């Protein structure tokens, strides 16, 4: 089993790499080779007994995609992409990396004339308000960002290339990944993680929106689980509609805070400070609150059952079980 | 008022040109200039008092789109495209013409740094079975052809370019255009027109599917009306969801034949001969039967009320009012 991963230096990429190395197998076959690429050189996993190639390269540059698939990887995890904020501020870069980069990867597979599994990380940003209370699997895609537009276009390409038998694609629409490890970033969604991560680390966190704001979350661990599960789905089981909204925990900010209080105590929860921010409030108002994700659940994709579980996953995976 | 039309040599393009020349005005302004392009040179309208440029050019070739918008047309009717069958048999040509050609047009507008109205002819091929009985406006796009995929991608691009204020886009999803004038073609949908057109012209027509097959139709005259109406919609009225399923007459083949009998008599209707064709039956089974088109109707788009009206439009517009 040879696996290619794009965007391998990112948070999800690193966690997926660690999980694949730990498992040693995917879909019942031993992993013999890992090809890891990103715009910065991914770290080669220390304990992997097979062959590892790591390289810094941009999929949208000429020849890069062809080189990446030249070893005919059996499974391709295509995680690479410019994030939402950057795709909005840099129109050309967003389309070049997120759309052209993906198209070049798919075209490289077509030219290589073999049929790999291609797992693509899409996003619930393909949806745009106004929404029903819970978004059904057959809801239309009317993204309100260039990032969401690019993800939606890549979903359509992946489905057409799959339908034509060029590859076996699965597009997974990730909800907001929470709790993101590491430092606070400038993403408008950053506070969803920040109000859990910083208090657990003994730091104060700012909350820019009302406690009543509802959103859908899945842990980094769950996201890695989605990717592994997607790689194991047969085309017969998946059917022709290959792009799926992933399950997650839909809860309000107030419910996030209650969960933090239950899991880590009042002292930790008291480290959240209300600091309303109109810009963030406006952006968040356009986001999906809840998704049915019925098809994904029926196909066996599993997220956490409660936000308490999401906090516990963070404490186990990032804090060695300890709360500050 | 300067109008650019791509695909101007096609059936809809020629009829739209004739209508614009006859009206002399669009959105209350005198039409002073027409730029008509297609892969074959469009015919210059004889009676147009303004300036006309006609040229044979391929939008997906370098520099063509920039040249097409160099005169900063106020309204762009983007009708150009490879049809469904050809986009399926020639993968590369379909993507090059239907996707890259459209993207190059949108990019040329962005580079020209002005804000035209862009009316794009999409198709109900953006939808793919299985369907609800009537397809709602918020139904997802899961096309089952490369043509439908390309149209859906162009809709997403048009919406994002509109959202960013680069242009004012309207995507109109045309139902099957019936009665298509001219000779029978090899499109799987050809019989929907053939069973009306040939009998009215004194010829026998073959019917490859069951009388119970339901489909949605609009006349060429209605399609031209949709395009003109779309050009007059303000962005305020349209809102951010700029791609719209057009209304049409949803009826069964049996109801089409009854209408022909009512309008033209038993002698004409008797010229239809049943000749079941499994391939056509299989293709047609994946097509949309009915669309709500509620938003389009609310926005004032008008199709015929009955299939009788569609037949009468054909007799008036193509047969000089006479039936053979």
Question: How far apart, in whole angstroms, are the C-alpha atoms of residue B133 and residue B288?
Answer: 9
Three-state DSSP at B234 gives: coil
Is A241 an 8 Å CB contact of chain B? yes
Residue B184 lies in a domain: no
Residue B230 lies in a domain: yes
Whether residues A7 and A103 fall in one domain? yes
Q: How confident is the model at residue A287 (pLDDT cuts 50, 70, 90)?
A: confident
If you average pLDDT over residues B140-169, what whole number do you get? 97
Residue B182 lies in a domain: no
Q: What is the pLDDT of residues B191-226, one digit of tens each?
A: 999 999 999 999 999 999 999 999 999 999 999 999
Out of B128, B140, B240, whose CB is closest to A141?
B140
Residue B287 lies in a domain: yes
Q: B-chain residues within 8 Å CB-CB of A159? A: 142-143, 149
Per-chain mean pLDDT for chain A: 96
Is A274 an 8 Å CB contact of chain B? no
Query: Is residue B187 pLDDT above 80, yes or no?
Result: no
Q: Which residue of B has its CA nearest to A145?
A: B160
Tell me if B149 and A139 make a contact (CB, 8 A cut-off). Answer: no
Number of structural domains chain A divides into: 2
Question: How far apart, in whole angstroms, are the C-alpha atoms of residue A109 and residue A167?
Answer: 8
Q: A-chain residues within 8 Å CB-CB of B92? A: none
Is B92 an 8 Å CB contact of chain A? no
- Angstrom distances, CA of residue A111 to CA of A78, A108, A167, B95: 17, 5, 11, 15
- Catalytic residue from among A95, A114, A147, A161: A147
DSSP string, A221-262: HHHHHHHHHHHT--HHHH-S--EEEPP-EEEEHHHHHHHHHH
Q: What angle do CA B167, A82, A151 make, to 5 degrees?
A: 60
Q: How confident is the model at residue B188 (pLDDT cuts 50, 70, 90)?
A: confident
CATH number for A282: 3.90.25.10
pLDDT at A221: 97
Residue B298 lies in a domain: no
Query: Is residue A279 pLDDT above 90, yes or no?
Result: no
pLDDT at A84: 87
B294: number of Cβ within 10 Å: 15
Out of A152, A163, A240, whose CB is closest to B156?
A152
In sequence order, which residues have a C-beta less than 8 Å from that of residue A179 and are 6 or more positions away? A193, A196, A197, A219, A220, A310, A311, A313, A314, A318
Q: Provide the shortest C-alpha distance from residue B240 to chain A (in Å).
A: 9
User: Which residue has tokens 């693509």?
Assistant: A120
Q: How confident is the model at residue B286 (pLDDT cuts 50, 70, 90)?
A: confident
Q: What angle do CA B65, B70, B76 make, to 5 degrees?
A: 65
Structural domain for B119, as ranges: 2-174+218-245
Q: Is this prediction's pTM over 0.80?
A: yes
Three-state DSSP at A217 gives: strand
Question: How far apart, in whole angstroms, are the C-alpha atoms of residue A143 and residue A175?
Answer: 14
Q: Provide the shortest C-alpha distance from residue B50 to chain A (in Å).
A: 38
Whether residues B283 and B207 fall in one domain? yes
Q: How confident is the model at residue B308 (pLDDT cuts 50, 70, 90)?
A: very high
Q: How confident is the model at residue B1 (pLDDT cuts 50, 70, 90)?
A: very high
pLDDT at A184: 81
Q: Which residue of A has its CA nearest to B142?
A: A241
Out of B128, B149, B160, whose CB is closest to A146?
B160
Residue B84 lies in a domain: yes
- Is A147 assigned a catalytic role? yes
Q: A-chain residues within 8 Å CB-CB of B144? A: 163, 240
Whether residues B92 and B121 fall in one domain? yes
Q: B-chain residues within 8 Å CB-CB of A141? A: 140-141, 156
Whether residues B161 and B270 fall in one domain? no
pLDDT at A76: 98
Query: Is residue B183 pLDDT above 90, yes or no?
Result: no
Query: Is residue A301 pLDDT above 80, yes or no?
Result: yes
Whether residues B104 and B166 fall in one domain? yes
Q: A-chain residues within 8 Å CB-CB of B164? A: 91, 146
Q: What is the pLDDT of residues A166-223, one digit of tens each?
A: 999 999 999 999 999 998 877 788 999 999 999 999 999 999 999 999 999 999 999 9
Query: Is residue B65 pLDDT above 80, yes or no?
Result: yes
pLDDT at A129: 92
Tell me if A141 and B137 make a contact (CB, 8 A cut-off). Answer: no
pLDDT at A188: 83
Query: Is residue A316 pLDDT above 80, yes or no?
Result: yes
Whether residues A228 and A210 fall in one domain? no
Query: Is residue A282 pLDDT above 90, yes or no?
Result: no
CATH number for A117: 3.40.50.720
Percentage above 90 pLDDT, chain B: 94
- Catalytic residue from among B95, B114, B147, B161: B147
Q: What is the pLDDT of residues B118-132, one digit of tens each?
A: 999 999 999 999 999
Tell me if B157 and A152 make a contact (CB, 8 A cut-off). Answer: no
Tell me if B153 and A149 make a contact (CB, 8 A cut-off). Answer: no
pLDDT at B310: 98
pLDDT at B16: 98
pLDDT at B36: 98
Percentage above 70 pLDDT, chain B: 100
Whether residues A254 and A228 fall in one domain? no
Residue A50 lies in a domain: yes
Cα-flanking dihedrals φ and ψ of residue B53, to 5°?
Answer: -115, 125
- A-B C-beta contacts closer than 8 Å: 54
Q: A-chain residues within 8 Å CB-CB of B241? A: 142
Q: Provide the shortest C-alpha distance from residue B167 to chain A (in Å).
A: 15
Whether residues A273 and A234 fall in one domain? no
B134: number of Cβ within 10 Å: 15
If you average pLDDT over residues B5-32, what whole number do you get? 97
In sequence order, which residues have a C-beta less than 8 Å from that of residue A47 and are 6 or more positions away? A21
Is A153 an 8 Å CB contact of chain B? yes
Whether residues A272 and A169 fall in one domain? no
Tell me if A149 and B157 make a contact (CB, 8 A cut-off). Answer: yes
Residue A125 lies in a domain: yes
B215: β partners: B251
Whether residues A265 and A227 fall in one domain? no
User: Which residue has tokens 């089974």?
Assistant: B285
Q: B-chain residues within 8 Å CB-CB of A146? A: 160, 164
Tell me if B149 and A157 make a contact (CB, 8 A cut-off). Answer: yes
Q: How confident is the model at residue B304 (pLDDT cuts 50, 70, 90)?
A: very high
Q: Provide the shortest C-alpha distance from residue A310 to chain B (in Å).
A: 30
If you average pLDDT over residues A223-251, what whole number do you get? 97
Whether residues A232 and A107 fall in one domain? yes
Q: What is the pLDDT of residues B26-47, one digit of tens each?
A: 999 999 999 999 999 999 999 9
Query: Pick from A50, A9, A3, A51: which is nearest to A26 by CA?
Result: A3
Whether residues B115 and B255 fall in one domain? no
pLDDT at A163: 97
């Amino acid at each position: 089993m040879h696996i290619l991963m794009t965007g391998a230096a990112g948070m999800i990429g690193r966690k997926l790499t660690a999980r694949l190395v730990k498992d040693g197998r995917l879909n019942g076959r031993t992993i013999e080779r890992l090809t890891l690429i990103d715009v910065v050189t991914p770290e080669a996993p220390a304990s992997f007994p097979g062959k590892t190639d790591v390289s810094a390269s941009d999929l949208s540059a000429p020849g890069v995609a062809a080189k990446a698939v030249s070893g005919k990887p059996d499974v391709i995890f295509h995680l690479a992409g410019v994030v939402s904020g950057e795709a909005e501020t840099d129109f050309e870069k967003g389309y070049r990396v997120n759309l052209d980069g993906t198209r070049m990867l798919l075209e490289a597979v077509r030219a290589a004339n073999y049929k790999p599994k291609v797992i693509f990380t899409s996003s619930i940003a393909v949806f745009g308000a106004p929404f029903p209370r819970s978004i059904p699997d057959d809801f239309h895609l009317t993204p309100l960002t260039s990032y969401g537009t690019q993800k939606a276009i890549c979903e359509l390409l992946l489905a057409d290339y799959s339908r034509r038998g060029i590859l076996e694609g699965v597009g997974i629409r990730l909800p907001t990944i929470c709790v993101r490890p590491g430092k606070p970033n400038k993403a408008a969604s950053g506070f969803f993680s920040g109000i859990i991560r910083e208090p657990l680390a003994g730091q104060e966190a700012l909350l820019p929106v009302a406690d009543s704001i509802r959103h859908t979350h899945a842990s980094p661990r769950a996201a890695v689980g989605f990717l592994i599960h997607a790689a194991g789905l047969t085309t017969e089981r998946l059917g022709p509609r290959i792009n799926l909204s992933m399950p997650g925990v839909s809860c309000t900010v107030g419910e996030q805070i209650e969960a933090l209080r239950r899991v880590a105590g009042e002292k930790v929860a008291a480290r959240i400070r209300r600091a309303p921010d109109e810009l963030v409030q406006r952006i968040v108002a356009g986001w999906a609150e809840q998704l049915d994700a019925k098809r994904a659940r029926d196909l066996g994709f599993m997220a956490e059952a409660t936000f308490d579980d999401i906090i516990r996953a963070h404490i186990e995976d990032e804090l060695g079980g300890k709360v500050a």
